[in-house]
Each structure stands twice: as structure tokens, then as C-alpha cells.
Amino acid sequence: MSRPRSTGLPRWVYVPAGLGAAFVLLPLVAIVLKVDWANFGSLITSESSRDALSLSLRTSTASTVLCVLIGVPMATVLARTTFPGQAVARSLVLLPLVLPPVVGGLALLYTFGRRGLLGHTLEVLDLQIAFSTIAVVLAQTFVALPFLVVSLEGSLRTAGDQYERVAATLGAGPTTVFRRVTLPLVLPGLLAGAVLSFARAMGEFGATITFAGSLQGVTRTLPLEIYLQRESDPDAAVALALVLVVFAVVVITIARPDRTTR
């Protein structure tokens, strides 16, 4: 109320903003109200729940590492170079963001499946991806990669390249510049992107169930376990959903850009 007028925010903005906040928060409140607190502990520590949570944490970590390994070079190329068709390339990188995850899963199936594009090659290499944890990691990486590329490319563009040029004039080679100047400069953006990718991987459902299948301890991640438990034990599904929600809130709070870049 005692804010200085100079912020210039019109009063009416608070009405839709408040409605928007309620729109997001009410469903969360509804979930919390549905939780069977008396059995909450036993519901989320059952063997299948623990397997699902542990699998989700392991696969999401693996896919985040993969996202960083391939996403950092992708973002750097997009932000620091110009090449023909760059605009198209940027749109294609973003594609998994707008693609329904089920479609992403089908695309992965047609690529890495036993009868997919690379199916024969993988068979020769004796790599069985179908119904394996690798398939889960591939699905999660596919949907999470754009989050890392987008946030890192934004950071790279905001940071500009003047320090890199200075370093180069002082005699540093391209790899040294990249490692000692570029990466430290955008580290907050990289961390934020990595955390978002991790969060997206934790929530991944459609591509996983389409491409990887669902087997306890192997491919049945937390979202798949929630979906399955809903059939037979809705209380367990709600309890696990709350675990996922709490997890997501923690992750998003860590990744909030104003906390990490200022």
C-alpha cells in the first residue's frame, strides 16, 4: 500500500493477477485437501512408490546431464554464430515444447524402436532400447532439452560477447575463452536451465508411456505410477501427486531467475 507511485502499475492489474494466482493455486489446495494424511507416510513409502521415486530421480538426473552435454553446445552455436537456416533451426529445437509428449514418444519410437529408423543399427550394436531405462532417459531428454537451450541462449545473448572478444585479443584460444569466459558468465542461466530441465524430466509422462512402457523399477516413473495407482488406489495416487507437486515447487523456487541472475 505504501509503495511509491513511481512504479506506475495500474491498480486494476491486481484483479486479473489475483484471479490468475487463484486459478493456479486452487487446484493445488484441492489436491492437498484430498490427501489422506493418516496414511500419507505408508502410501508414499510403499515399495512401488519408492521404486517410482528413485527411478524418477535417477532418470531425471541422467537426462539433465545429457541436456547439459548437448544443450550447452547447441545454445552456444545458436547464440554466437550465424548460419543459413538459423531461424528454422531455432524453431525446430523448440519443437518438443509445443509437441504433445505422446507425439514425441511416437517419434522416438519410430526412431529408436526395434522397427524404427535406427532399429537395425541398434540391433547390430546389440543395444536393446525398447522397455529399458535408457528409453525413459531418451524420452525425458527429448522433452527437457528445449528448456535448457532456450534459457541458456537467452543468457548468452544478454551477456553479449565483449568479454569474449577481449579475452581473444589477449591471446586466449577459442576453447579457453569458452571455458574461462563464456561459461562462467552464463553459469546462473545454465543452472536455471538445468533445474528447469530436471523439473520437466521429473514430470514427463506422455513420451515415456508411449515410448518406454511401464514396469516397476525399470520404466515406471513417478508420473506413470500416479496414473496407474489412480485406477486401484486413488489415495496413493493423490499422496504421490503431492510429493511431485512439493518437489516441483522446490525446484522452481531454486530456479527462479531473479534469485540466480541478480
Nearest approach in angstroms of CB 230 to other proteins is 8
If one asks whether residue 114 binds other proteins (CB under 8 A), the answer comes out as: yes
Distance, in Å, from the CA atom of 140 to the CA atom of 202, rounded to the nearest integer, reads: 8
If one asks whether residue 214 binds other proteins (CB under 8 A), the answer comes out as: yes
- Nearest Cα to 219, choosing from 66, 43, 47, 54? 54
Q: How many residues bind other proteins (CB under 8 A)?
A: 21
Nearest approach in angstroms of CB 261 to other proteins is 41
Nearest approach in angstroms of CB 215 to other proteins is 5
DSSP labels for 95-160?
Answer: HHHHS-HHHHHHHHHHHHSTTSTTHHHHHHTT---TTSHHHHHHHHHHHHHHHHHHHHHHHHHHH-
**Dihedral (Cα; 162, 165, 169, 170), 10-degree rounding:** 70
If one asks whether residue 219 binds other proteins (CB under 8 A), the answer comes out as: yes
Select 182 or 210, whichever has its Cβ closest to other proteins: 210
Nearest approach in angstroms of CB 226 to other proteins is 11
Q: Which of residues 173-212 bind other proteins (CB under 8 A)?
A: 209-210, 212
If one asks whether residue 257 binds other proteins (CB under 8 A), the answer comes out as: no
Nearest approach in angstroms of CB 42 to other proteins is 18
Q: On the CB side of 86, how many CA atoms lie within 13 Å of its CA?
A: 11
Torsions phi, psi of 130, nearest 5? Answer: -55, 135
Distance, in Å, from the CA atom of 140 to the CA atom of 57, rounded to the nearest integer, reads: 12
Distance, in Å, from the CA atom of 124 to the CA atom of 135, rounded to the nearest integer, reads: 18
Distance, in Å, from the CA atom of 159 to the CA atom of 181, rounded to the nearest integer, reads: 11
If one asks whether residue 131 binds other proteins (CB under 8 A), the answer comes out as: yes
Distance of CA 88 to the CA centre of its chain: 22
Which of 215, 248, 251, 254 binds other proteins (CB under 8 A)? It is 215
Q: How many Å from the N-terminal Cα to the C-terminal Cα in the chain?
A: 25
From residue 67 to residue 106, the character string flagging contacts with other proteins as x (rule: CB under 8 A) and all else as - is ----------------------------------------
DSSP state of 218: T
Nearest approach in angstroms of CB 131 to other proteins is 4
From residue 228 to residue 247, the character string flagging contacts with other proteins as x (rule: CB under 8 A) and all else as - is xx-xxx--------------
Span of 61-69, 92-100, 144-152, 226-234 interacting with other proteins by CB under 8 A: 226-234
Q: Which residues bind other proteins (CB under 8 A)?
A: 109, 113-115, 130-131, 209-210, 212-216, 219-220, 227-229, 231-233
